Structure 1
Amino acid sequence: MGVQKPKLMNMRNSTKSEDQALIKEQDFFSSKLERRSFLRFAGAGAAGMALVAAGCKKDKMEAGFYLGSGDIGILNYAYALEQLEAAFYTQVAASFYTGATQAEKDLLIDIRDHEIAHREFFKNALGSNAIGGLEVNFSSINFADRTSVLGTAKAFEDLGVSAYNGAGFLIKDAGYLTVAGKIVSVEARHAALIRDLISNGSFANSEVVDANGLDKSRMPSEVLGIASAFVKTKLNANDLPTT
């Protein structure tokens, strides 16, 4: 069964927040995802978000997941990255680091909800072509320490933005390219916010914006190499498009 292409609708305006606007686009999701029902929809709690798909056979997990080719491969590539981010922020929100202010908690919960929305979009868009749940490895992160958590969040958000920037030209379907553009703009807002939480005013420095005023980009092979430090599941990206 092929990927079902979502119908694209105009983002809602007025005073609704970005996460509400994204969530309310009903053609993006097979179920309504009201902001306060994310965890119930996704299986509730950190344990349900551990990202090892129930019923996966051991030999399949050992062999890893084949991302595919063409647009399916790119969508699975994005889905894998969104799984990683959603798992990270879910664990962050399950037990906040020492000294987290209420404002920081609220912001990180919002980011978690966005990443869950992104993950579920790709899962539903891919249908039977979607890879399974990834097994993540967060052993190098001290979730009780603000510096460790925000430093990892910065790395993930910068990586995500560069991944979408690097893969955008590989997407052939205009509809999916439009959605990718909407998602990367949200990821860039996350990256700017996290940087400002670490050091106010550092949201657009030379680490992420080049001399031409352009955000940096990375090709899938580089992105997956970096992400592999946090993902136990092997990903076969051999057939991802390169041109």
Structure 2
Amino acid sequence: MKKTLTQFSDSSDSVMLSKVNRRFFLRSAGVAATTGAFIMGACTEQDLMSDDVVDLGSGDFGILNYAYALEQLEAAFYIQVLTTPYLNMTDMEKWILTDIRDHEIIHREFFKAALGMKAIKGLTPNFSQIDFASRTSVLGAAKLFEDTGVAAYNGAGKLIEDVNYLLVAGKIVSVEARHASAIADLINPNALEFANGQIDENGLEHAYSPSIILDGVSPFVMDKISGKNLPS
């Protein structure tokens, strides 16, 4: 079945997306941009105690939902970073973080549109462990999210059956890898060892299974996410 992207309206992100460098993204990621809404729910005791489980599904749609969940998390994080900038954020840092934020919003909305009715719900992030007023805390979290994203795409690639989805995933992970390098350079400018933590002992990028990734990001999401039906 031919997939098309849906154009969303009444977007809380529309102002942000109007500033996105679409030419860069379309050249780098090869997917169309759409606008869409993200509502960051309040972290309540009821949320924490909820027994509801978000099932990612199975097959290629399950993997797409897996990517969608991660992109929701990343987009929400960078939206918060730019909404409450850390102390003494430089113009260059703001420019880089804004560019990354806009890319993550596009990634998120691409998966939402591609999945259509099969898309999981909007997840509620839990960033209580991150001090958004601290540069060290924010950039440390950004590095964690970007390195995790790269490893997640690398690990999920072999599970995708549709070559068209695989092509898009490959293009998006290249953007995520550039994000990871940019964040690493902000933390330690011009360091030759910027790739430390991103590659294994063989000089290859890390590739982790969905079960490992979901366990790793679970502290940052209020919702319980299940990948039990994902291909393995």
TM-score normalised over the length of structure 1: 0.79
Give me the whole-angstrom Cα distance separating, in 1, the residues matched to 2:76 and 2:171.
21
| 2:119 corresponds to 1:130 | yes
CA distance in 1: counterparts of 2:178 and 2:40, whole angstroms: 25
1:204 counterpart residue number: 195
CA distance in structure 2 between the aligned counterparts of 1:51 and 1:125, rounded to whole angstroms: 24
Residues 115-144 of structure 1: per-residue CA shift (max 9 Å, x gap): 000000000000000000001100010000
Q: Which of 208, 211, 219 is residue 221 of structure 1 equivalent to?
A: 211
Tell whether 2:20 aligns with 1:5.
Answer: no
1:146 aligns with 2:146: no
Partner Cα distance (1:172, 1:51) in 2: 34
- The answer as to whether partners of 2:31 and 2:168 remain within 8 angstroms in 1 is no
| 8 Å contact kept, 1:6–1:28 | no
Unaligned runs of 5+ in 1: 8-16, 34-40, 53-57
CA distance in 1, matches of 2:39, 2:90: 24
Matches within 5 A, 1:170-209: 170-200=159-189, 201=191, 202-205=193-196, 207-209=197-199
Question: In the alignment, is residue 235 of structure 1 matched against residue 225 of structure 2?
Answer: yes
Q: Relative to 1, partners in 2 of residues 1:51 and 1:80: Cα closer, same or farther, differing over 3 Å?
A: farther
Q: Do 1:100 and 1:146's aligned partners in 2 also have CA atoms closer than 8 Å?
A: yes
Looking at structure 2, the residues matched to 195 and 133 of structure 1 have their Cα atoms a distance apart, in angstroms, of 29
Cα offset for 1:85?
0.2
Counterpart position of 1:102: 91
Unaligned runs of 5+ in 2: 6-19
- 2:219 partner amino acid: A
Code of the aligned partner of 1:42: G
Distance 1:166 1:193 in 2: 22
Question: In structure 1, what is the Cα distance between the partners aligned to 2:107 and 2:151?
Answer: 16
Q: Distance in 2 between matches of 1:144 and 1:88?
A: 13
Identical counterparts, % of pairs: 54
